[in-house]
Chains A and B, each alone.
Chain A
């Protein structure tokens, strides 16, 4: 008997707005606990929420990027449950009239393309962060009131690989949209995984379990794989499954039960009377649509068609929006030499980023400096190997390529009389190699080239050296 797992994801994404969703407190999870709080986000008596318009824009733009229908009328509701990290003991969320409905995201797993449908995106508030200390508990409310988007998929995925691919693709869109910092370590993206298993061909889904609050994609993959196996084993052995909420125990590599459906909360949703209904106009939505950033696929096509990059290069560069932006800036500074810019970014830059675990925006070689470096090569002021040395200096010390070249005296020697004397010296000092070359050993020429470069301290114009050598040895 074969089983088909079915997976749906609810992904919570912290928006990167400057301030919180209901008050003017700064969003800053790295600050000292309870330093970015006020009567509103602490749930003090008499305080009232005022909706952050930026959070609405970013949620709607995410919806547009995912092809959602935008609700021109939407509202906020209260979801009641008691927990110390929730200042009001109700969460303001959107129950039945969310900002975005429908939509989809294309993914690819092992070369097979498929579409994951989005059910809805709603805008809500994040809660505080509980810490359990020895013998006591503490809550940091800095996070409380951070705007949170919940992106809910249909139950469209059928393997842990598809869930992983969906999250990866979603993260890329969110980064491209500039709506979230997408830093998983800081909990910017967290998700709940709904999983059930049914016999292949069955018209109904099996009993589902929801794994709560996953904060790594790798964890989702492992947890889903475990849960699928657990449920199949249960079905095969005739063990009844209960609808329940489960927790992923990362170190043990297993899920455990948190609570069953019978103990599920009755959230008692009702419209929040403190907040007006949100009404958007078509014109507003159109303006936000016009303001959308370019998506990876469109960017890839443009790199190929307008910049003349090979498909491969374009694909590599657009995978990360920061890298793509950096590349475009380098290209502009290098007077549009796209291929050289691409070569530099794909090799030196991406190597350094991966070694250092940095994003392109954090690199201390500015795109402008790298573009200038490329120009120096184009103008034959530098050869490639010296250019890499300049890059290394830029990486360690920063600065301006022109100044570095000048300072270090690294400008390429293209003066033919100087080069001739190097060539003559090398021919005189290596008679046997010269014999080998004349006897037909092509590789001998490379050795002689190397000797000339050594004498010139790497500054000789390699092209001219090659021509001179050939001329003299002919």
Chain B
């Protein structure tokens, strides 16, 4: 009686697993079919987006393991990197909306302003203060190769929305 019951249970488990496998197989096939419907260009784009997603996920995971101080430094570092690489739109998109409305209503205005930053930027973090959910960073922006360029001291306000998700604003002088 016991043996029969065990056999029955084993058969049921095997059937369930078989059904799950079939479902996974069908789903995968569907995805492949829909992918094959698209042209190679789109396929490449999908691959790129997937790669980008994977990179973003890795960065997000790394950021979420950092301390608050390191995260803030990483966020402002991202902003500065965009400016250094002349990716002004990406940097502009990181700004707080009200701040943009107050000081840089257009990307051009922002682009003109950041021309005052040195070409090869190194950031010295002087202080990090916390105001509720906001962080106030005091930074010194210098040229890594040219010490004759006067360093720019600025306060930067960062709001962290999630791991590697943030908005920022800065002291405009």
Chains A and B form a bound pair = no
Contacts from B to A (Cβ < 8 Å): none
Contacts from A to B (Cβ < 8 Å): none
